[in-house]
Amino acid sequence: MRHVERSRLLLHVVDMSGLGELSPWEEFCVIDKELALYRQDLAARRRLLLANKMDMPQAAENLQEFKRQLAESGNDYPLFEISALTGEGLRELMYQVFEILQTTPLPVLPDMQDTEDESLGKLTKVVAEPEFVITQAEPGVWQVTGKKLEKLVIMTDWEYEASLRRLQNILTKIGLDAALREAGAQDGDLVQIAGREFDYAE
C-alpha cells in the first residue's frame, strides 16, 4: 500500500471471466474497501477500471452486470474493456493514461513534504514488441513465434472443443490469419506454433 500511496492514478483491474471464487463486482468491492481502510483519501484518488479477460466467453455478460452494479453504487469511474492476453484495448488505455498523467500532480504525503525523490515523476518509455513474427521455414511451411502467442497455444486444452474455438477466435482477433495470408500462405499450408501444427485455411 505504501507504493500505491505515491501513485497519481490507480488502474483497478477487474477479472470479467467469472471463473474466480468471487464475482467481478465482489472482487471490485474487496479492493475498494482495502483502499478505504488503509487511507480514506486513497480510495478517493483518481481511478480507471480495467475490465480484463474480455476475450473469455462469459465476459460480455458479466460486464453488463458489473456496469449495472457500478451505476447503482453511484461510482462513475471510467471503464476500459481490455484483454491482457490478446492486447485488446491496451493501446487506447495507454493513450488515456498518458493524457491524465500530464495534468495530474504527485500526491503530497506527510513523509514527502520535506524530501525530494528524483525518481518520482519520471516518464518510462515502453517499446511494445510485436505480438508475433511469421517466418517461412520452407515452401508451404510457416513458423509463428511470439511469447504471448506461444504461451496461449501451450495453455490451450486440446481435448475440449470450446478451448479450441477460443484459441481460433483469439488468433483471428490479433490478426494472425490476415498476416499469414498477406505473407503468402495458401490453403493447406502448414503453420507451426509452439510445437503444434495447424493446416492453414482462409
What is the pLDDT at residue 201? Answer: 84
pLDDT of residue 127: 58
CA distance 197 to 143: 9
Position 82 pLDDT exceeds 60: yes
User: Strand 141-145 relative to strand 133-138: parallel, antiparallel, unpaired?
Assistant: antiparallel
% of the chain residues with pLDDT over 70: 89
CATH 3.40.50.970 assigned to domain 133-199? The reply is no
Predicted local distance difference test score (pLDDT) of residue 2: 74
Does pLDDT of 114 surpass 60? no
| Amino acid sitting at position 192 | Q
Rounded (5°) CA angle 58-63-23: 75
User: What ranges do the domains of the chain cover?
Assistant: 2-112, 133-199
In angstroms, what CA-CA distances link 189 with 53, 120, 133, 181, 182?
31, 52, 17, 11, 14
**Is the confidence at residue 144, as pLDDT, over 50?**
yes
Question: What cell was used for 7?
Answer: 501513485
The residue-averaged pLDDT of 178-183 equals 92
Share of the chain above pLDDT 90, in %: 47
Q: Which pLDDT belongs to residue 59? A: 95
How far, in Å, CA of 10 to CA of 26, rounded? 18
Q: Inform me whether the pLDDT recorded for 91 exceeds 80.
A: yes
Q: Is the pLDDT of residue 89 over 80?
A: yes
For residues 77, 81, 84, 85, the Cα torsion angle rounded to the nearest 10 degrees is: 160
Look at the domain 2-112 and name its fold: Rossmann fold (3.40.50)
pLDDT of residue 149: 86
The average pLDDT across 73-97 equals 92
Averaged over 50-68, what is the pLDDT?
95
